Structure 1
Amino acid sequence: MILVIDALNKHRFGGILDEMYKLRARVFRDRMGWDVMVRNGREIDLFDQLDPAYIVALDGSYNVVGCNRMLQTTGPHMLSDVFQDILCGEPPLRSATVWENTRFCIDSERLKRPGADRTVSYAACELMAGIAEYAFNSGISDVISVVDPAMDRILKRCDNAPYGYIGKTVQMGKTKALAALSDITEERIARIRAFAGITGEIFLEDDVVADALAESTPVTMPVALRDYCDAQIAGACTDSEREAALALQRELAGMYRSQPSCDA
């Protein structure tokens, strides 16, 4: 199941964004050894402050099991501002219909636990399908993906092979990075779905997720307070702001947890 989080709804899903940042730290720093900035167990960079679109994969219990970040190429993005060496001196592609696709990762540890409701392979393909369908529905014609060689092989294995590459492969921490180009077409979406056996709607409605998260909380804060806390977490620009927002959320949750039930 895929939830799209962007500037319009991020105030509702601060908790999910926080789990996403933690997943990115575990995958990119701990597992892959990338040279990324991690603070307080969360991998967040300056591009997360530019209101990107996040394609987030959730399991049946609404836990984050995968994520991806999409940025317009008309402004700052990783290929133009971080991985210029890939371009070999050529100017970066800039177009309102060409977006950059980065930070693709899957929580393989959670998905390999007993009782997991999907496999790592299925979750990865569902996330790929979510990226392509979101892009197609948004009028995006092409996606540039900054990936490592292993991810490039996974794309090809899932019948989601790029149609071309930009520049050259460069060293990135303990691994390498390359820029792959994928056209966004109904044919690509159909191939990904057919490979994984994905049928039906994969996108979740905001209200469905928000209501499910509220119901799963042992003691639910009033909706206005819950939304306020999520908005503060999602809008935090610094580590201290984020920790303060999380502390406030914990404090308020504790206050309502300690209150006696109205039925007592």
Structure 2
Amino acid sequence: MQIRAISTPRNKDEARLLHAQHQLRARVFSDRMGWDVQVSDGCERDRFDELQPTYILGISDAARMIGCARLLPALGPTMLADVFPSLLPHGRLAAHSSMIESSRFCVDTALEERGAGGSVHEATLAMFAGIIEWSIANNFTEIVTVTDLRFERILSRVGWRLRRLGEPRNIGNTVAVTGILSADADTFIKLRPPSYHSQISGPFGQAA
């Protein structure tokens, strides 16, 4: 599995990968989870995709899109501040220049069924490591996110503790919670699976 970070696509291959992650988001968030999201022509997008986010992409050895996440600076418009302020103390996020928001995180749970060369657990860890590696390389020390209680337990099990900013609340058909995750070298090394490989240019000796 390879981790790549793409913002504005520079060529046809990167445009194809971004299209594939929008398709994965539609399959996960609309088809599987039943979220009320905007899907058009098999792709899930929203207004935050128009803000030139960075996408962390997990790509299998067979060139299949198996994981994605969207990163936006927390000082700008974010899902948390603009869509889910009810999850924040006093309805506002104490953002700073070293904080990034992660949203639309997903991993293709059909990975093992398709025999795509890995496991859901390994892909999830690789995506975590990729988010941390990119954050460190770009001088972000904290990752703020909205998630659900099930995913919070996954984070806890792998040793990446979510520091809650507020109490869980019902949002649609999900019990959601918001919190902050640390982005540091020790956490990256702890979470990185043995098969991890990225094209992120950063402090860990991997070239873009």
Normalised by the length of structure 2, the TM-score is 0.89
Within 2, Cα distance between the matches of 1:88 and 1:114? Answer: 43
Question: Which ranges of 4 or more aligned residues in structure 1 deviate by more than 4 Å?
Answer: none
1:39 alignment partner AA:
S
Contact 1:70–1:100 (Cα < 8 Å) also in 2 = yes
Residue in structure 1 matched with residue 77 of structure 2 by the alignment: 76
Gaps in structure 2 of 5+ consecutive residues: 202-208
1:202 alignment partner AA:
H
Gaps in structure 1 of 5+ consecutive residues: 207-264
**Structure with greater proportional helix content:** 1
2:145 counterpart of 1:145: yes
Normalised by the length of structure 1, the TM-score is 0.71
**Structure with greater proportional strand content:** 2
SS state at 1:108 partner? coil
Tell me how many residue pairs correspond in the alignment: 200
Residues 62 and 205 of structure 1: CA distance in aligned 2, closer, same or farther (over 3 Å): farther
Residue in structure 1 matched with residue 206 of structure 2 by the alignment: none
Cα deviations across residues 188-228 of structure 1 (Å, max 9, x unaligned)?
A: 112212xx4x26x621379xxxxxxxxxxxxxxxxxxxxxx
SS state at 2:101 partner? strand
Within 2, Cα distance between the matches of 1:11 and 1:51? Answer: 17
SS state at 2:68 partner? strand
CA-atom RMSD in angstroms: 1.9
Contact 2:22–2:45 (Cα < 8 Å) also in 1 = yes
Contact 1:87–1:166 (Cα < 8 Å) also in 2 = yes
1:51-62 → structure 2 map (5 Å cutoff) = 51-62=52-63
Bigger Cα Rg = 1
Contact 1:33–1:173 (Cα < 8 Å) also in 2 = no
1:186-205 → structure 2 map (5 Å cutoff) = 186-193=185-192, 196=193, 198=194, 202-204=197-199
Within 2, Cα distance between the matches of 1:89 and 1:10? Answer: 43
Cα displacement (A) at 1:96: 1.5
Fraction of identical pairs, as percent: 31
Residue in structure 2 matched with residue 121 of structure 1 by the alignment: 121
Within 2, Cα distance between the matches of 1:27 and 1:44? Answer: 13
Contact 1:148–1:176 (Cα < 8 Å) also in 2 = yes
Residues 11 and 144 of structure 1: CA distance in aligned 2, closer, same or farther (over 3 Å): farther
